[in-house]
Structure 1
Amino acid sequence: MRNRSGRIALSLLICLIHVLPFYVLLTSSFKAMDDPSSKWVMPGYFYLDNFTNAWKEANLGRAFTNNIAILVGAIVLIVIIGSIAAYPLARYKTSWNKFVYALFVSAMIVPPLTILVPLYKFMVDIGGMNSFWGIILLHVTFNLPVTIFLYTGFIDTIPKELDEAAMIDGSGKLRMFYSVILPLLKPVTATVIILTGVTIWNDYQFSVFFLQQPDSRTITVALSAFFGQYNNNIGWVAAGSLMGAVPVAGVYLFLQRYFIHGLSSGAVKG
C-alpha cells in the first residue's frame, strides 16, 4: 500500500511539473500588459487582444499555412516510403537486408547538426533553399530510420500465412501489401504520425537555416523572430506560443486515442 501511494505521489508530481508551464502560459496570454497581478493568478477576464496582435505581428497565418503544407507532404511520404521499405526487411531475412536494417538503425543516433555544413552546401547546390520540397526532403530523410525501425518490428508480428494466402488467391506482391498488410499497420502508423508529426511541427534547427525568407518561415522560426522583437510584452509572446502549441497538442491527443485502441486490438492478433 505504501509503495502504491508513493507511485501515485510521484506520478502526480511529474504531471504537475509538466502542467505548470502551460498554466503560466495560459495566465500570461489572457492578461493585459499593465496587469500587476502575479503570473500564478488566473485573471478574472480574457484579454483577447494579445492573440490578435500576436497573430498579426508574427504573421502566424502564413506560418501556419507553411507548417501544414510541410507536415502533410512529409508525413505522407514518410508513411508510404517507410512502410514499403520495411516490408522486405521484415519478411526476407537475408544478409543484405540485415545489413540495410542495421544501417537504418545506426542512422538514428546521428545528430543532424553534426552534418549541417555539408547538408547546407548540398541544399544550395540542388536549389532547395527556401523551398517546401527541400525542407520536406530533409524531414523525410531524417525521419525514415525510426519509421522503418517501427514498421519492421510491427510487420514481424504479422503471420506470414496471410501473405501466402493472398498470393495463392492471385494477388501480386504490391497488391498483397496494400490490400492485406497495410490495413493491419494502423496502430504503428498512428505511432509514426505522432512521433514524426510532432517532430516536424516543432522543428527549428532545419527551418531556421533552410527557410530564411519571411514568407517561407514556419511557426517556430516566426515565433523566434517575434520573441526577439516583443520580448518585453509577455502577453503577446505567451499568446503566440499558445497558438503555436495548441494544434499539435490537439492532434496528438486525438491520434493517441486511436493509437491506444489499435494497440489493444493488435495485442490479441494472430
Structure 2
Amino acid sequence: MTLARIARQSAVNSRSGLATATLAVGLVFTLVPLLYLVSVSLMDRAEITSGIVVSADPKWQNWADVLAGSPIPRAILNSFIAAVLGAALTLAFALPGAWAIVRYRTGGRTLAATLMSPWLLPPIVAVIPIMTLLRTLDLANTLAGLTIVYALVNIPVAVWLLEGFIRKLPIEIDEAAQLDGAGSWRVLLSIVTPLVAPALVAVGIIVAILNYHEFLLATFLTQSADSQTLTVVLSLFLGERLAHTGKIAAAAVIGILPLFALATVMQRWLVEGLTSGSVK
C-alpha cells in the first residue's frame, strides 16, 4: 500500500470517527432529557423534590390518572386533527402558489419575500384581528377555526420550501404536457404533483409539527375543553396551585408519542423528500 493510499485511508477513518463522535454527542443531548422526563413521570412529589434521578418505586398511577382522569387524551386528538388537517390545507394552497411563482413568475421577484414577511412577525400582533374575524364567521372557540388559522399561517413557509423543489423540475416536462393539450391545472395535478410528492410529504410533516407545537394562537382562540389543544391543556396543569410535576411529565410524554410515531412511520418519505430537491 502506497503512502498516498495510507494517508487517504487515515483521513477517511478520521472523518468517520469525527462523524461518529458528533452523532453520539447529538444522541446524548437528545435522549437524556427525554429519558429524564420519562423518569420524572414515574415519581411522586416527594421524590421529585428530593432530586433523585430514577424512582425505586415507579408511580404508574401518574400515567393512569392522565389517561383516564384528565382532558389530555381529548387535547392530543384535537392537536393531531388541527395539525394534520391544517397541514393538508396549507399544501393545497401552497403548491399552486409555489408553482405559479416558479413557472409563471407571478408577483415578480418580490412576491415570495412579501409572503414570508408576515410569517416572521410575532404571532401576538395578529391575535386580535384573527379573533375578530373568527367571531364574525362564527368559528370562534372551535377546532375548525383553529385548523383554518393554522393552514393560512403556514402557507408562506410552505411556499418558500416548495419553491426549491419545483425549480428542480425541468420546464420541458410542462411544455411537453401542454403540447399534448393539457391545461395549466392538468399539468399541475397530473404532472407536477406526482413528481414533487416526496417534497409534499416532507413539507407537510414539517408544517404539521409546527401546528402541533403551537401555543399562542391556540391559547387565545380556544377556551373550551372540546377545542383546546395539548399545549394549552399542559399550560393549565402548570397553573394549578400545587402542580403535580410527575403527572405533568406523564402528560408531556404521552403528548409527544404521536410525533414519534409519525416520524417513525414517515421517516423514509421525510428523508427522501428533503434530499430530492434543494431547500432554500
More moved, 169-178 vs 255-264: 255-264
Matched position secondary structure for 1:158: coil
Letter in 2 for 1:239: A
Task: Report the Cα distance in structure 2 between the residues aligned to 1:191 and 1:113, rounded to whole angstroms.
Answer: 28
Deviation at 1:34, TM superposition (A): 5.7
- Residue 255 of structure 1 is matched in structure 2 by 266
User: RMSD of the TM alignment (CA)?
Assistant: 2.7
Task: Report the Cα distance in structure 2 between the residues aligned to 1:175 and 1:122, rounded to whole angstroms.
Answer: 34
| Cα deviation 1:158-192 (Å, max 9, x = unaligned) | 00111112122222221221111101112221221
The answer to whether the 8 Å contact 1:231/1:237 transfers is no
1:63–1:155 distance in 2 versus 1, CA, 3 Å: same
| Cα deviation 1:135-161 (Å, max 9, x = unaligned) | 122111210001011112211110011
Deviation at 1:6, TM superposition (A): 5.9
Residue of structure 2 aligned with 1:227, choices 229, 238, 243: 238
Does 2:114 match 1:103?
A: yes
Does 2:172 match 1:161?
A: yes
| Cα deviation 1:223-255 (Å, max 9, x = unaligned) | 211232375422211111100111112212332
The answer to whether the 8 Å contact 2:94/2:159 transfers is yes
Task: Report the Cα distance in structure 2 between the residues aligned to 1:219 and 1:39, rounded to whole angstroms.
Answer: 28
- Residue 72 of structure 2 is matched in structure 1 by 60
The answer to whether the 8 Å contact 2:88/2:204 transfers is no
Deviation at 1:100, TM superposition (A): 2.3
Letter in 1 for 2:172: E
Deviation at 1:111, TM superposition (A): 2.1
Does 2:257 match 1:246?
A: yes
Deviation at 1:55, TM superposition (A): 2.2
| Cα deviation 1:18-63 (Å, max 9, x = unaligned) | 222111111122345565885422x466543211201233312221
1:97–1:134 distance in 2 versus 1, CA, 3 Å: farther
1:252–1:39 distance in 2 versus 1, CA, 3 Å: farther
The answer to whether the 8 Å contact 1:230/1:237 transfers is no
- Residue 50 of structure 1 is matched in structure 2 by 62
Deviation at 1:78, TM superposition (A): 0.7
> Structure 1 regions of 5+ residues with no counterpart?
none
Task: Report the Cα distance in structure 2 between the residues aligned to 1:248 and 1:47, rounded to whole angstroms.
Answer: 24
Deviation at 1:75, TM superposition (A): 1.5
Letter in 1 for 2:174: D
More moved, 31-40 vs 242-251: 31-40
The answer to whether the 8 Å contact 2:42/2:250 transfers is yes
Letter in 2 for 1:202: H
The answer to whether the 8 Å contact 1:147/1:192 transfers is yes
More moved, 206-215 vs 67-76: 67-76
Matched position secondary structure for 2:140: coil
Task: Report the Cα distance in structure 2 between the residues aligned to 1:61 and 1:118, rounded to whole angstroms.
Answer: 30
- Residue 23 of structure 1 is matched in structure 2 by 35
| Cα deviation 1:77-134 (Å, max 9, x = unaligned) | 111111111111110125x343322311323322212333333333333333101222
Residue of structure 1 aligned with 2:53, choices 40, 49, 69: 40
- Residue 93 of structure 1 is matched in structure 2 by 105
The answer to whether the 8 Å contact 2:127/2:220 transfers is no
Higher Rg of the two aligned structures: 2
Residue of structure 1 aligned with 2:159, choices 133, 144, 148: 148
Task: Report the Cα distance in structure 1 between the residues aligned to 2:130 and 2:273, rounded to whole angstroms.
Answer: 38
The answer to whether the 8 Å contact 2:83/2:209 transfers is no
Matched position secondary structure for 1:98: coil
The answer to whether the 8 Å contact 1:58/1:223 transfers is no
| Count, aligned residues | 265
Residue of structure 1 aligned with 2:208, choices 184, 193, 197: 197
The answer to whether the 8 Å contact 1:24/1:39 transfers is no
Does 2:102 match 1:81?
A: no
Does 2:222 match 1:216?
A: no
Letter in 2 for 1:189: L
Task: Report the Cα distance in structure 2 between the residues aligned to 1:73 and 1:263, rounded to whole angstroms.
Answer: 21
